[in-house]
Structure 1
């Protein structure tokens, strides 16, 4: 027999597995130590609005029966080595899940990745952090698993219109993720656990007949009239298939240039740009959990989400937190020499003493009149120029320009900077010399407003570390709303974050699946 409960528990009751079992059994009128009843959590979220933090739980209790498996989805992979092939460019979540879905549908994926496999990437990440050497093909953005692999692995998404979130989560669990991601309201895997998971996803692709090619950068397209037949690599190799899914991520500027040069339609797209703000995690915990400087052994490192509407020169723009990393680290995310970009990541335990978040300003195309000469590349060229300015301000290395928060608002260069998780180091500057005026003015307004919403957030015991500029793609590759095919080129399927149709691991994975389905429906199964 199964009983269902909606509970509001203390952190100890929710997170201590023994105490949780006892609480649910008592709720059902059973002895706390009953061996015939097993409880499990189905959904869990933290409610920190009151003085005492509570955890909202949806639970199931199984009495005299074994709980069924949490996983409903069991992929039906089959060997596709001899089947028709499709080409997938980019082995981030969109590309990987497109490949797995193709296998389910009986089609062979050829997955091309410009960077290295997930383990080999580590040497290039170490080179950025320690020696400040940026490999343009292997870095925090490029390589197996994409940008999310070494930047936290957050799985929360509001996007439900292009796929089944639960299905994506279950595939991740089937490949090694903990079942906790099926339970937590804001799940994440952690950058320390993602590499093994990514390896297992890749091995599923190879095991069932798909190909995965690393160190393979696309340098040209194979076009016959208005049809995409394949791609040409940096080695001159031609890779062809029934269609091409382009899932290159938001930082593949060479691909955007190639599309433009090839007269394949692309569009400039609004995005967001700002800084990454770092506080001590204890300070954020004390604000969010009302707990002083010790949140106790049960509560996880606390996160925050902030947004404020600003007006500058009669234009309204939002300023908001982005990719908040509790108990995390700030990392160098440049993809080419001569630029400086930062991002955030957290290990699975989220046990760093630092909390960081992007605080970014919405950038609309009308904010960039001097860049309109670049046409569809306007927002990307603006983004690149600010990244170059940040690199120059830091000393033309991966040392990041930085400033304490109150000093920034009051227009003072910080006499000293705080300890930081950013390994290449910080250089004290006036961040207004790095950021465009319409960005810095709005950030200054927002920091004061955030201090009113989160008492203690606005403090000189926090610092701005720049530049957070890769929030989303500054380019959209237009596609048909129903078929997902490019509006101009047949058999080309723009996909994921880089094409402007996703905003994170799960939404990109769902978009990858849908692109694979549409391509196969149109050009393989129907023709058989």
Structure 2
């Protein structure tokens, strides 16, 4: 019988051969009775500085009877059976958006015998890469091809972290497919799987090529401008060039920056609602500083990866608690521009597979809600979107244009001092010194400052003149939600399936991909067995 043995400790300088012996001890058998031993997860436990260790989960087939009990020894889960094939639809489903939700929806449908038509306003990875490089070199933005729009969606060029807080059986499938197409088998056992922005675009392209070989069609540079309906049911997608793609099923997986689509829903009176998200700045520190804070005396150990962190607090501001947290932490990474509209500035972070940059970055963000938008006169389903735009325009002006980012030393921002010359930064096309207290309402600024003081108490040295705040971080998640029912369809648009982060149902690569799989399963259930 095959078992899973969890949380086996292994100190940094210990030989991996000890894992099999320790697994056998947990099982109450001799190591000679174990075969097909496989490491399925390896997580770093660095909670005690100077005493870092790995916690490893193994699977092994055991010959004979096991003499063990406890939560750390369980039967290994059985492999998932192949997806059953379903009845072919009259026309291939349309998937709007070639990000994680769209691609994984297409994959699941194809596994069930249903090829789809994937429509994206952006470009394939190759030409998209050139447009992204030009934005970072010269500040020239292509509104149709950038860090958010194009093959792979926003995730293709913003790090490739595959960690997630959701607990869904399909998470493993998502990671396995990224490992397969990216040639990065190491992520199958990583506690915090990370492909890297240098490898993820290639993985996305390889997946797309496999989908094309299976019969899927991809339309690039195809911006959707309207939905064709008949009797309340979807019948076709109208593109900006006048073409119409006919189908009776549409998966809306547009990403969290599809502002024209959100505006279309509001203009037509289709179900869309404002939702909370988070805003703030990207904090950039020297990576050796973060290593020293997190690892202490072991910081130079060759087996330790560049250190990361995850911080959260709920300070009370104006009599109410407000969440403040780190977002999308990128050890050994760079800060990148992520605008999609002219004269609006926003940022994100990414790391390549080796995480070799001398700098670390993470969003330092504050939760905001429709009440915050209303306080500044923004009402209705697009209130959050217009509120985002207000602060992105303000950041663009403060940076002097050309997608230069306004920046201030973290210590100066916290003390309320005027900005001085920024320190070292990875951000391109560049930063300019600015007073970041001009950005965001007082309640957001006060909460962020309170959160930063709290973070300093947990990570002594976090608040330093060596750290930089770069503005602004506004695209943490979609500002609105395209409403769907229990059958995952829009209640007013039959045959339309909102999906992923852009529709308001996920946050990050993996949860978006899983939501795409769920939508494909819902379509398959409606089609019925072949």
**Correspondent of 2:16 among 4, 20, 26:** 20
Query: Does residue 222 in structure 1 map to residue 228 in structure 2?
Result: yes
The answer on whether the counterparts of 1:82 and 1:108 sit within 8 Å (CA) in structure 2 is: no
Q: What SS class does the counterpart of residue 450 from structure 2 fall into?
A: helix
| Gaps in structure 2 of 5+ consecutive residues | 26-31, 64-76
Query: Contact 2:86 / 2:524 at 8 angstroms: preserved in 1?
Result: no
Deviates more, 1:349-358 or 1:361-370: 361-370
Please say if 1:392 is aligned against 2:397: yes
Aligned-residue offset at 1:87: 0.5
For residue 366 of structure 2, give the secondary structure of its aligned residue in structure 1: strand
Cα distance in structure 2, aligned partners of 1:440 and 1:60: 48
Show the counterpart of 2:499: 495
Matching residue of 1:237? 243
SS of the residue 2:309 aligns to:
coil
Task: Give the corresponding residue for 1:9.
Answer: 10
Residue equivalent to 2:66: none
Alignment of structure 1 residues 95-110 onto 2, 5 Å = 95-110=102-117
- Conserved? CA contact 1:87–1:112, under 8 Å: yes
Instruction: Give the SS at the match of 1:148.
Output: helix
Once residues 203 and 85 of structure 2 are traced to their aligned partners in structure 1, the CA distance between those partners, rounded to angstroms, is 20
* 1:69-125 superposed Cα distances (whole Å, 9 cap, x missing partner): x99568679999997410100000000011111111222210001100012111110
Q: 1:265 to 1:61 in 2, by over 3 A?
A: closer
Distance 1:223 1:23, change over 3 A: closer
2:328 to 318, 323, 328: 323
The aligned runs of 1:295-306 (5 Å cut-off) are 295-306=300-311
CA contact (8 A) 1:341 1:470 kept: yes
Per the alignment, residue 52 of structure 2 pairs with: 53
Q: Which residue of 1 aligns with 2:142?
A: 135
Which of 159, 173, 178 is matched with 2:166 structurally? 159
Is 1:307 matched up with 2:312? yes
Measure, in 2, the Cα distance between the counterparts of 1:370 and 1:4: 53
Q: Which residue of 1 aligns with 2:259?
A: 253
Structure 2: distance between partners of 1:71 and 1:37: 17
- 1:378 aligned residue (368, 377, 383): 383
The alpha carbon displacement at 1:245 in A equals 0.5
CA distance in 2, matches of 1:122, 1:285: 31
Indicate the residue corresponding to 2:67 in structure 1: none
Please name the residue that 2:410 is paired with. Answer: 405
Aligned to 1:44: 42
**2: CA distance between counterparts of 1:122 and 1:74?**
38
How far, CA to CA, are the matches of 1:82 and 1:134 in structure 2?
40
Residue number among 353, 357, 375 corresponding to 2:358 in the alignment: 353
Does the residue aligned with 2:453 lie in a helix, a strand or coil? helix
Tell me, in whole angstroms, the C-alpha distance in 1 between the residues paired with 2:493 and 2:89. 27
**CA shift at 1:455, angstroms?**
1.0
Name 1:456's counterpart in structure 2.
461
1:362 counterpart (367, 373, 376):
367
Structure-2 residue corresponding to 1:263: 269
Question: 8 Å contact 1:77–1:208 — kept in the other structure?
Answer: no
1:174 offset after TM fit, Å? 2.9
Match of 1:507 in 2: 511
Match of 2:71 in 1: none
Note if 1:343 corresponds to 2:348: yes
Write the mapping of 1:160-179 to structure 2, written as runs, cut at 5 A.
160=167, 164-179=170-185
Please report how far the alpha carbon of residue 445 of structure 1 lies from its aligned counterpart in structure 2 after TM superposition: 1.1
Counterparts in 2 of 1:325 and 1:77: CA distance versus 1, 3 Å: farther
Inter-partner Cα distance in structure 1 for 2:308 and 2:488:
35
Residues 114/157 of structure 1: CA separation in 2 closer, same or farther (3 Å cut):
same
Distance 1:369 1:3, change over 3 A: closer
User: 1:13-68, CA deviations, whole angstroms, 9 ceiling, x for partnerless residues?
Assistant: 3xxxxx31366458869xxxx9x97754222111111131111112356799xxxx
Q: 1:26 to 1:501 in 2, by over 3 A?
A: closer
Q: Residue 362 of structure 1: SS of its match in structure 2?
A: strand
Within the candidate set 474, 482, 488, 1:484 is matched to: 488
Runs of 5+ in structure 1 lacking a partner? 14-18, 65-69
**Matches of 1:278 and 1:380 in 2, distance apart?**
26
| Secondary structure class of the residue paired with 1:496 | coil
Q: C-alpha deviations, 1:152-194, integer Å up to 9, x for none?
A: 1111112235x52112222223323422222122111111111
Q: 1: CA distance between counterparts of 2:88 and 2:212?
A: 9
User: Is 2:127 the counterpart of 1:116?
Assistant: no
Superposition RMSD in Å: 2.7
Q: Is the 8 A contact 2:182 2:199 kept in 1?
A: no
Note if contact 1:84-1:107 (Cα within 8 Å) is conserved in structure 2: no
Distance 1:2 1:77 in 2: 26
Using the TM superposition, give the Cα deviation of residue 525 of structure 1 relative to its aligned residue in structure 2, in angstroms: 2.9
Q: Distance in 2 between matches of 1:196 and 1:73?
A: 27
How many residues are paired up? 510
Shift of 1:461: 1.4
Report deviation, 1:214.
0.9
Superposition map of 1:21-100 within 5 A: 21=17, 24=20, 40-51=38-49, 52-60=51-59, 72=79, 84-100=91-107
How far the C-alpha of 1:262 sits from its partner, in A, is 1.8
